Each structure stands twice: as C-alpha cells, then as structure tokens.
Structure 1
C-alpha cells in the first residue's frame, strides 16, 4: 500500500526526468493514482485511497461510504472517496473525493487496512442520517450483521449528533435494524411494510422438521400468523434450484404457511401491491 506509492517530487529528487515519468506511465509500468502520486500498475482500491490521503491534511479520515466499505458494510454504493475533516479545514480539491466538513469531531479514529478511518459506528450513524431511508436501513442491517459494531455503539454515537439533520430518521432506523437480514432487498421489504403501518416481520426464520432439525428458512415471516414473504432474486431463477423450490413450497403449504413471493419489479415499481397483499393476509 503506502510503501508502494511514491510522490512525483520524490521521483524528480532521485534523478528521474519528467519525460521518464511520463514514459513509464505511457508504457504501463507505473500508474498515476492521483495528482503528484504514483503507484504500481496493479494498484488496487486501497492503493488509490492511500494515494489520496497523501494529499489530504493529517486530520482527514475516511468516513461515510468509504469508511463503511473499509469496515466491511459498504452496502451504500459510491464511486467516490468520502473523507471527514474538521469544519473550516483547508482541503485541496481532488477529483473523485467528497469532503465532509463536520462540526462533530471524529472520536478515536482507527487504522483500517493502513488507512485512517472513522470508527464503524460513526460511519454507520453518518450514513443513517444522510441517506434515504430505503438505502440507510440495509447499511445498518449489514453493519450489525458483520459485527462492525453493536447497536448500543450506534446509539451512543448518535447521541453526539443531537440537533443535526437526519438524527430522528437515524434513531428510528437503528431501532429497526436487524443483523439477521441477508440482503438489501430484504431490508427494504421489511422497511416498506413497517412504513406502511404493518408489524415488522421477522427476518430469516428457521423452520424445523418433526425431529427438531432446521429444514428451511423464510426471508421474512409473521410467525404466529404463518405468513411468509420471499424476495425472488436471480438465485431463485436458477434452473438447478427449480425442483428444490417446488419441494420447499409444497412442504410449507403442508405446514399451513401462506407464502407470498415478490420481485424487484414489485419492490421498486409496485410497492403498493406488496403492502395491500400482506395487509389482506394479516387481516383475514
């Protein structure tokens, strides 16, 4: 990582000419990672981030989307590098870098893969405040799932953000977050039902056979009502899984489960259809 990086000024000081630097880049034996910083042609994402930090003030730390990615819960997608600096800091404009000037100091920054980073709870709390609800809950679910931090850590961090925009949303979503959720669509389905005023379904409910052995899981379930909800992604369209799904569906029906299956088209284009379908099942 950083030991694989070299500044342009260092190359010149060691005897390289400007033409030699340009030639190496043109040949592909060296890569310009950001202005004034070069690295090997096989440079990875962490090399690129390290190169950016070579140009940032010492107070800068990775946060928001980038911090979440480094901590292992980067569900919120962003092609840019997000850094946090104290409010009023002088920061150079760098292509592909989003600078967040924060009035809330980053407490106890950590090194993650050699890069200065805000703690996981800070990254998650910032995203929970800043993102739309449908994007924020999957981040929080995944944060808890990979054990990047605990729910109490999130609540404690959010306590330092009082008065800032999005705190109310973040507080609600932290209470709703569930580490059992296995994908963003499951999180969004659960949020859709809760926001419509329906009870929160239980994620990833295991059902057992008559010997007490775990047999099948349901994406989202109302256990007492025996209502199951499944998100049908591409994995469900695999021909090899067709017969398994048929056996599973027949077994669930035989156990009295009323199953409903929804696709991305339902979730993102016909959310009202999902709500009315589940509401009807819960009220009959």
Structure 2
C-alpha cells in the first residue's frame, strides 16, 4: 500500500534516527508495527492490516474472529488480529496479533483490503471448534443469516477439520445452526434448552389469527404445545414497547399461548431456572 513507509526507506532518504523519532512523537508519523510507519495520525484499518502482513511470511491469512468480522458475521468480537499460520512456519511476535498454527491449509484465500483472508466457512468452523458452545452457535447462526455460508458449505468444511480438536462440538453445532434468530441471546436460549434435553424450539415462530394472517412473531416457540419464549433486552423497557408488549401478551393468552419471558440475568445467571420452567410447561 502506497501510504506505508519502511524505517529503512526513511533512513535511505536522508532522515536521521532522531528525526524519525521526533516525527513519530509529533504525530506526523504513526508507527503501525516494528519498522513500518504511515504518514497519518489516524491510519485506516486496511493500512494496519497491510503493515502486519508486511512482516508475516507468505502463506498466512486472516481467520477466526478477524476473518469472521470481514465476512460480516463477527459476533465473537476480539480486539486482537487473528492470523492463521501454516504449521511449522516461524513468524515474529507482533503486539495485538494472535497466531493460530494449523495443519489444515487455507484453501483459496480471499483478498480483502489487500490481505489474504480465509473463506467464510473456514472462519466459521474454526470458531465453532474453539469457542465456548454458548458463543459458537450465535456465530454459526449469524453466518447463515447474512448469507456468508450455507449449511452444505459448513458440513463440507467439517471434513477437512475431522482430526482437529473441537470438531465434534463443531459438528453438533452445525446440525443446530439456523439463520432465523435475530440476536445472539435467541441463539443461546435455543442451545440452553437443547442442552437441557428439551426438543429444539422453533426460532422466529409466526402466530396466525383465525383467518391465517400472521399477527405476532415469537423469539422461540413450541407450536404444538402453544408455549412461547421471549428474550427481553433493554429495548423492552421503552414505554411504547411496553404498551405493545402488553397488548401482544393479552392477545396471545386469549389464543391459548403460554408465554415466558427471560432476561440476560436469567440467561447467564439462572440457566437451570429457564430449563425447569419450560420443561414444566411442556409436560403439563
């Protein structure tokens, strides 16, 4: 990238080491990585990526959290830059860069922002193998929702990872992956119920009136039992939203639906309470 300047190039152009240091301290130069500068005070993300890959050997590629973000499903956020490194390749230690040595080569890397990036299915399966289950399923759901991956593509990618750590978890989560959830908490609620031994609930379930018109959509539901499950985030505290929710609850109750609402406190602090509550409703 044209905006990047190597330290050796600055010295070769007649600058002294002291001048380089003074310009950097004054903000005229920004040090992106060891020996690499850019003449701006606020380098863009592409320049930072180019500076990092300028110091990495060929064969490396963005992946995991960083690759998922570039592909549009960065639900598992990380402040670090995650790079896939071929097994046995020696790379320098760089601040803010996490390297993942892998025996599985990155096939057909995509060039995004001037740097190689692992395909979306590779990033998704790597995260499904290595993240906690509660964090991994939202990633898979989101990658399907934004269209970055297909279920067939995820299953095909699993074959290349069959000997790696965590592939059994990834395989089970791919079987559960669904593009319909609209937030990570909906995905986590679904996984919580399945892990508790309950049937898989239907995400984003439409409830119709007697004329067949879709009236309300539930976060999760067991349609045959008329049990609905909602995740209430901060947006539900808005007065207008509260009035809408009240009318919604009354209509659903009149139609025979038994609704249960859960919050972040329930999801992350009282998961057994959620499972016990839904199990009781389903067994009545």
Provide the TM-score with structure 1 as the length reference.
0.95
Distance 1:247 1:114 in 2: 52
Distance 2:19 2:240 in 1: 55
- CA offsets, 1:246-273, max 9 Å, x none? 1111121122111100011111111000
- The 10-residue stretch of structure 1 (113-122 or 206-215) with the greater mean CA deviation from structure 2: 206-215
Pair 1:277–1:26, CA change in 2 (3 A): same
Answer yes or no: is 1:33 the counterpart of 2:32.
Answer: yes
Pair 1:220–1:35, CA change in 2 (3 A): same
Distance 1:240 1:195 in 2: 35
Q: Which runs of 5+ in 2 are unaligned?
A: none
| Corresponding residue for residue 175 of structure 1 | 175
Q: Which runs of 5+ in 1 are unaligned?
A: none
Answer yes or no: is 1:283 the counterpart of 2:267.
Answer: no
Distance 1:213 1:17 in 2: 75
Pair 1:208–1:112, CA change in 2 (3 A): farther
| Corresponding residue for residue 156 of structure 2 | 156
Distance 2:169 2:254 in 1: 41
Pair 1:240–1:115, CA change in 2 (3 A): farther
Answer yes or no: is 1:232 the counterpart of 2:214.
Answer: no
SS at match of 2:225: coil
Using the TM superposition, give the Cα deviation of residue 162 of structure 1 relative to its aligned residue in structure 2, in angstroms.
Answer: 1.6
| Corresponding residue for residue 15 of structure 2 | 16
Distance 1:270 1:123 in 2: 31
SS at match of 2:224: coil
Distance 1:37 1:211 in 2: 67
Using the TM superposition, give the Cα deviation of residue 85 of structure 1 relative to its aligned residue in structure 2, in angstroms.
Answer: 1.4
SS at match of 1:95: coil
| Corresponding residue for residue 214 of structure 2 | 214
Q: What is the root-mean-square deviation of aligned Cα atoms in Å?
A: 1.5
| Corresponding residue for residue 92 of structure 1 | 92
Please tell me whether the aligned partners of residues 128 and 173 of structure 1 are also in contact (alpha carbons under 8 angstroms).
yes
Distance 1:129 1:137 in 2: 10
Distance 1:59 1:155 in 2: 25
- The 10-residue stretch of structure 1 (171-180 or 159-168) with the greater mean CA deviation from structure 2: 159-168
Using the TM superposition, give the Cα deviation of residue 54 of structure 1 relative to its aligned residue in structure 2, in angstroms.
Answer: 1.1
Please tell me whether the aligned partners of residues 130 and 166 of structure 1 are also in contact (alpha carbons under 8 angstroms).
yes
